[in-house]
């Protein structure tokens, strides 16, 4: 899924990324950086967020 597709999905569902972040134990600002491409999400918390959002596959190994 691409960030654009993810944003559209959330809009259709009437959800916010802030709510999603809090429900899943992440900081909203970290989620925003991943979604908007300001964080490459190659490892650490950003990678976990990208996987949880479906932006990266679960099988992709974190560096």
Residue 63 has pLDDT above 60, yes or no: no
pLDDT at position 38, please? 96
Task: Report how many domains make up the chain.
Answer: 1
Report yes or no on 58 lying in a domain.
no
pLDDT at position 19, please? 97
Report yes or no on 23 lying in a domain.
yes
Supply the Cα-derived Rg of the chain in whole angstroms.
11
User: Which residue segment(s) compose the domain that 24 sits in?
Assistant: 3-53
Report yes or no on 59 lying in a domain.
no
Report yes or no on 60 lying in a domain.
no
17-57 pLDDT, tens digit per residue, is 999 999 999 999 999 999 999 998 999 999 999 999 999 99
Report yes or no on 47 lying in a domain.
yes
With beta carbons less than 8 A apart as the criterion, state whether 12 and 61 touch: no
Helical pair 44-53 and 28-35, crossing angle rounded to 10 deg: 70
pLDDT at position 52, please? 97
Report yes or no on 39 lying in a domain.
yes
Q: How many CB atoms lie within 10 A of CB 48?
A: 18
């Amino acid at each position: 899924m691409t960030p654009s597709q993810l944003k559209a999905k959330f809009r259709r569902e009437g959800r916010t990324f802030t709510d999603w972040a809090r429900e899943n134990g992440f900081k909203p600002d970290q989620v925003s950086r991943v979604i908007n491409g300001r964080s490459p999400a190659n490892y650490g918390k950003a990678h976990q967020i990208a996987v949880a959002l479906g932006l990266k596959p679960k099988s992709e190994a974190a560096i």
